[in-house]
Structure 1
């Protein structure tokens, strides 16, 4: 009996390791897009007065690239803490819906595993993890969500994000404005790839377009940085107003 249990445990550990490696492998194409994105963020943080120690704290404690860029956009010295908290909440509020979409796949797991999984959730890990779970729901009985696969993605993206944002902070003063190399295009490129997998038609994307239009108008006519909260609030309100229309 003990030998049988050891064999089952070894098989489970081997399967978990294989899934973890699969997560690492799947994340490689996304990493190639994130590296220049991280370098730009690290460089911008240095230009705002962040030290080499403070940059990984910024990117490690708030693992969400969009809100980190938004915070730097409106950063002042001394910082306006309430404004920064407000913008961070607005930009990261999409995580409420992202986390809710994972509930059917995580409800069988204990909170000790769910909460860390949600902490490391970003747009890329959420999109790839959800897509993998949906594929597994058609081929597996249970479980559909592979925590080991998800952990492999999170590990590689988190380590790469912190490492290259810190590197961007170190080489930023030497290279100057690295956006002239086209690195700032990494951000829209990564999200265009993710958008392709989540696209459900123009009807479902109406809040995105309204948010984009509002952000453009705010960028052109309002003080610097206000396009971020304006775009976020407009998108959230539009999605809420259109929710009833979707149900009908």
Structure 2
């Protein structure tokens, strides 16, 4: 029995590693960009390595590195990092019911590893509901963490040897990664509306150089999806009511 359980744990760990592997490889250019940018902005090697180890968020790393190199006030750096990372509060809220009864060691570990990529693999209703699924999430998220750290280290080495890598278009990997995460999640009209509104507004606000354009487009898109969902529910309820009336007349 013990052997069978151990074998099941190993299989779930392997599945977590394999399921996350495409995303681990997809963020390679992004990680290299973050590592090389830190070196090119006069971070020490220790500081450049410490950033992905502690922060573990690509978009935050890129922005914070630029702000630090521009000698921005600490309050500005913290507030900007908070705004960019605020979506993780939504991730946490979405998974709260699944994780709230777990021991602190599990909640702390999975909370630290909860990136966009791991959240994308957490859509199943049974996610985190058993020890096997927790091991799956731990190895999936853990493999992404160590891959991200490895890509950053490669970028640090490359940034120390090669000329400026920021002009090679590596930042396109950011857009590609998020597109790969978002497309499979479009399963109904409300999500489709959310994605389309966010995409259109983010481009419009970027064209007009609106500083909080990304935040505004995200908020407006979420409300658009929410109202679309409400309208769908009302429409479905109205259809059911009409159907029930027709059935009553027939009876």
Aligned partner (choices 26, 39, 42) of residue 46 of structure 1: 39
Shift of 1:180: 4.8
The answer to whether residue 99 in structure 2 is matched with residue 106 in structure 1 is: yes
Q: Which position in structure 1 is the counterpart of 2:214?
A: 231
RMSD: 2.7
Inter-CA distance 205–48: structure 2 relative to 1 (3 Å threshold): farther
The answer to whether residue 188 in structure 2 is matched with residue 188 in structure 1 is: no
1:10-60 per-position Cα deviation (integer Å, ceiling 9, x unaligned):
433332222112111112111111111100111112222222111222112
Structure 1 CA distance, aligned partners of 2:41 and 2:96?
A: 38
Structure 2 CA distance, aligned partners of 1:152 and 1:122?
A: 13
Shift of 1:231: 1.0
Q: Which position in structure 2 is the counterpart of 1:161?
A: 148
Structure 2 CA distance, aligned partners of 1:182 and 1:243?
A: 35
Inter-CA distance 183–202: structure 2 relative to 1 (3 Å threshold): farther
Structure 2: segments with no counterpart, 5+ residues: 232-251
Task: Determine if contact 1:27/1:156 at 8 Å carries over to the other structure.
Answer: yes
Q: Which position in structure 1 is the counterpart of 2:86?
A: 93
Structure 1 CA distance, aligned partners of 2:161 and 2:14?
A: 36
Structure 1: segments with no counterpart, 5+ residues: 1-6
The answer to whether residue 25 in structure 2 is matched with residue 32 in structure 1 is: yes
Q: Which position in structure 2 is the counterpart of 1:243?
A: 226
Structure 1 CA distance, aligned partners of 2:57 and 2:135?
A: 21
Structure 2 CA distance, aligned partners of 1:21 and 1:92?
A: 29
For residue 90 of structure 2, give the secondary structure of its aligned residue in structure 1.
helix
Inter-CA distance 221–214: structure 2 relative to 1 (3 Å threshold): same
The answer to whether residue 70 in structure 2 is matched with residue 70 in structure 1 is: no
Deviates more, 1:157-166 or 1:195-204: 195-204
1:128-183 per-position Cα deviation (integer Å, ceiling 9, x unaligned):
1x13x33x57xxxx639711111111221111111221220221142223355443
Inter-CA distance 235–33: structure 2 relative to 1 (3 Å threshold): same
Task: Determine if contact 1:211/1:232 at 8 Å carries over to the other structure.
Answer: no
Structure 2 CA distance, aligned partners of 1:216 and 1:73?
A: 22
TM-score by structure 1 length? Answer: 0.79
The answer to whether residue 53 in structure 2 is matched with residue 80 in structure 1 is: no
User: Number of paired residues?
Assistant: 230
TM-score by structure 2 length? Answer: 0.78
Superposed structure 1 runs of 4+ greater than 6 Å apart:
none
